[in-house]
A and B are shown apart, each in its own frame.
Chain A
Amino acid sequence: MDFLCGLRGKDFVMVCSDTSAVQSVVTMKQDEDKLVPVDSHKLFALSGEAGDRVNFSEYIIANVRLYALRNDAKLSTKAVANFTRNELATALRKSPYSTNLLMAGYDDGEGGGPSLYWCDYLATLHHMNICGTGYGSYFVLSMFDKLWHPNVTEAEAFEMMRKGVEEVKSRLVVAPPKYLVKVIDSKGIRTLGEL
């Protein structure tokens, strides 16, 4: 089952996802990257049906790039998150996308900094410091609530992710075997490693 989680720190956002691509009871590949960059300082973490996941993310990314080209200005993370919500909400009563997602980004300038949004397939959007989707999140969210504090460092956050993934692997019956962690800060998106 898909697992996504995200942590917001003082000046970074860290996201983790599993790397299995599944069709009914078969694992098609073990190295699927579900942490998709939208631009240099934002990324989507998506879970759900493979077709919807890829289709929806490509649609949003294309529109974000088009806006940047037309207006010569990057959109803020809040703007992209709300645009995404709007697209999901419009599609909901026509042909819904069954994909839950996290939107992580870093904005420069005043009022900027790291932001992390949770959005489910029904287009319910909320800004959070700690978020997760999937069965794995049931094991991980309360642990993060205990360990997180507003000035958490990157090393502490990575350790929290490692502990969370360990918990998912040991307690979830259908736990995926491999997880990928990426971080976004003022310098951009970096892959931290696999768990």
Chain B
Amino acid sequence: MSIFEYNGSAIVAMAGKECVAIASDLRFGVQLATLATDHKKVYKIHDQLFIGLAGLGTDSETLSQRFTFKHNLYKLREERDIKPSAFAQLVSATLYERRFGPYFCQPVIAGLEPDGTPYLCGMDSIGAQEPAKDFMVAGTATDSLLGICESLWRPDLGPEELFETVSQALLSGQDRDCLAGWGAVVYVITKDKVIARTLRGRMD
């Protein structure tokens, strides 16, 4: 079993009309054993920027702590929150620093630029950026997730429709993967608020 499949995860992010959504499954497991069903893989950087970290649990935790640390220093120096595009560069550089001993994580960055445009970006474990205008997926269920996202996504979805689309995509995608699932958490980010919802899917 690959090191990326040791814990298991499913992350999906989608862009709508002046909103983005990012969602992850809630399973915490070690190979074939499920140990908990409340382990989120999406971390908040600031109100308009979230990062999902798929892959090895310990590296997700370490990386999220490092990014929070770096953003705290950034805020002190710049006296403002970091832009999503700049944050993506920061993530990419942090990952490439460990080119020959990498963190076993695949980040998905979802946020709103200061002018309200949605920003979506996925990366591999050594920081190769893949910006997207529609959706981005990561984790152990990527094959299923790509299929359902391609079918369900349409441009200019409003926040409520985007929530429905992301939820259906994640729940369907993770059903076919034994290492991801056991519920989901969905964050919908708009200019003035973030709504977090927990979903109950097939608990198997």
Contacts and interface: CB of A to CB of B under 8 A. Distances in A.
Contact of B58 (A124, A128, A138, A141): A124
A131 B101 CA distance: 31
Contact of B56 (A118, A122, A131, A137): A122
Contacts, number: 35
A29 interface: no
Interface string A35-67: 000000000000000000000000000000000
Given A122-B56, A126-B39, A85 B33 contact: no
Interface string A126-149: 101001000001100100000000
A92 interface: yes
Interface residues of B, number: 14
- Which of A85, A124, A131, A137 is the most central at the interface, judged by chain B CB atoms within 10 Å of its CB? A124
A123 B33 contact: no
B140 interface: no
A126 B28 contact: yes
Contacts of B127: none
What class of interface size applies to chain A in its complex with B?
Answer: 10 to 19
B35 A128 contact: yes
A93 interface: yes
B58 A137 contact: no
Given A93-B101, A126-B39, A138 B61 contact: no
B22 to A, nearest CB: 21
A124 B61 contact: yes
A131 B62 contact: no
Contact of A125 (B6, B33, B56, B61): B61
Nearest to B57: A124
B33 A89 contact: no
A137 B34 CA distance: 11
B36 A128 contact: yes
A122 B56 CA distance: 9
B35 A118 contact: yes
A120 interface: yes
A138 B7 contact: no
A141 B62 CA distance: 27
- Which of A120, A131, A138 is the most central at the interface, judged by chain B CB atoms within 10 Å of its CB? A120
A137 B33 contact: yes
A137 B36 CA distance: 13
Interface in B1-51: 6-7, 28, 30, 33, 35-36, 39
Interface in A160-184: none
15 contacts: A89-B58, A89-B61, A89-B62, A92-B58, A93-B101, A123-B61, A124-B58, A125-B61, A126-B35, A126-B36, A126-B39, A128-B36, A137-B33, A138-B33, A141-B35
